[in-house]
Homo-oligomer: A and B are copies of this chain.
Amino acid sequence: MDRWVVIATERGKRPNDFKVPRDEKKGGDCPLCEHHEWQTPPEVLAYRDRESARDRPGWWVRVVPNKFPAVRIEGRDEIRQLGLYCVMNGVGAHEVVVESPDHGRALEDMNGYQVQEVIRAWRDRSMDLRRDARLKYIQVFKNHGNTAGASLEHPHSQIIATPLVPVEIERKLEGLTRYARRTGRCILCEMIVQEIQEQNRVVVETGKFISIAPFASRFPFETWIIPRDHQQDFGFIREDQVADLSAVLRTTLKKLTAALNRPPYNLVISTAPVNTGREDLIHFHWHLEILPRLTIAAGFELGTGYYINPTPPEMAASDLRETVVMYDGEYAKKYREVGKYV
């Protein structure tokens, strides 16, 4: 029935493995902290002081392979038939982006430059991973908080590259392509225009991005950050966009954090597949989704694929617009120059 699932055989969890609650590690014992570089596999990227050595202290953003990867870079991506079923090796890459050496500083509490560097790490790894032609999609994501699936407290995001174009991306691309073929326009570009006119679902606007509570939000306070330019691939984000994205991302996260009292959330970047040579990719318009986890997707959602959202997006956006967030002086000044902030 057309479903691909990653069976992480190496993890091979038996019943007893699930009985232990996943406790958050506290600093000191944390493998992602500075001075604990030896506790992770060797780094694949780090922004660090010129005098510092690889896998040593002195970095401010560091990317390492996941110690317990869901997929691995080795192997071939052939599909084998097993009676009625198909099997493919879980080839791919699974990396951890350590967003700061500081264990206790959440992404929204970092300064603007640090968040820019995190965005650059996402971009640089995305561009590097695609040099492996077997990889067809690069998923940048972040799980923040235990109930959003984070097993480590230290601020980090993750990147998984997969050998297939994921179903969700395939569906989005189909929707975007269908609309483009019918109207000659991009539905996300049109959405930006409509949202700016109506204003009732807008959270933050800058020169190059807009942050909105989207019309059919699956989660209460779901927020999307969309580049105003029609840009298909996050990997090609420009330097002037990086600064702007850092500002809008920080503001949006600060507002969510203040309004909802530090909610658990997932962040996912939805972008065009890579290494496929497909012509329909021009219709993709990448965006970043922030998905607070305040409700539990349960039997109804699992059975039907529908989500029940108890908070209309217009109400969420208005609450977030009214949530005033404070900046340290330097950044506040800079932000005020960028555009419409609180």
A residues contacting B by CB (< 8 A) are 1-9, 11-15, 17-19, 70, 83-85, 137, 139, 141-143, 147-150, 158, 160, 162, 166-169, 171-172, 174-176, 187, 190-191, 194, 198, 215-218, 220-221, 259-261, 263, 266-270, 289, 291, 294-300, 302-313, 315, 319
Contact = CB atoms under 8 A, between A and B. Distances in A.
A190 B84 contact: yes
Given A190-B84, A298-B149, A304 B168 contact: yes
A23 to B, nearest CB: 15
Pick the 8 closest A-B CB pairs, nearest first. A149-B298, A141-B299, A166-B304, A168-B305, A268-B303, A11-B310, A1-B175, A149-B296
B270 A9 contact: no
A302 B266 contact: yes
Given A1-B176, A15-B319, A312 B84 contact: no
Given A12-B310, A84-B191, A141 B19 contact: no
B299 A2 contact: no
A1 B311 CA distance: 20
B306 A162 contact: yes
Contact of A8 (B5, B158, B309): B309
Given A158-B300, A266-B298, 16 more contacts: A8-B308, A8-B309, A11-B311, A12-B312, A13-B294, A15-B221, A83-B194, A85-B216, A139-B304, A149-B297, A166-B303, A167-B305, A167-B306, A171-B305, A268-B302, A270-B303
A232 B241 CA distance: 52
A297 B70 CA distance: 13
Contacts of A291: 299, 302
Contact of A148 (B17, B296, B305): B296
A148 B302 CA distance: 11
Given A15-B259, A148-B296, A260-B15, A309 B190 contact: no
Output the residue of A187, A294, A297, A303 with the most chain B CB within 10 A.
Answer: A303
Contacts of A310: 8, 11-13, 17
A216 B261 CA distance: 38
A191 to B, nearest CB: 6
Contact of A7 (B6, B139, B172, B309): B309
10 contacts: A2-B171, A7-B312, A13-B311, A18-B263, A84-B191, A141-B299, A141-B303, A148-B299, A167-B305, A169-B305
A33 B11 CA distance: 42
- Most chain B CB atoms below 10 A, which of A149, A218, A319: A149
Given A83-B194, A194-B83, A142 B299 contact: yes
Contacts of A261: 15, 19
Contacts of A5: 216-218, 306-309
B1 A220 contact: no
Given A187-B1, A309-B5, A315-B14, A137 B220 contact: no
B216 A3 contact: yes
Contacts of A305: 166-169, 171
Contact of A84 (B171, B194, B270): B194
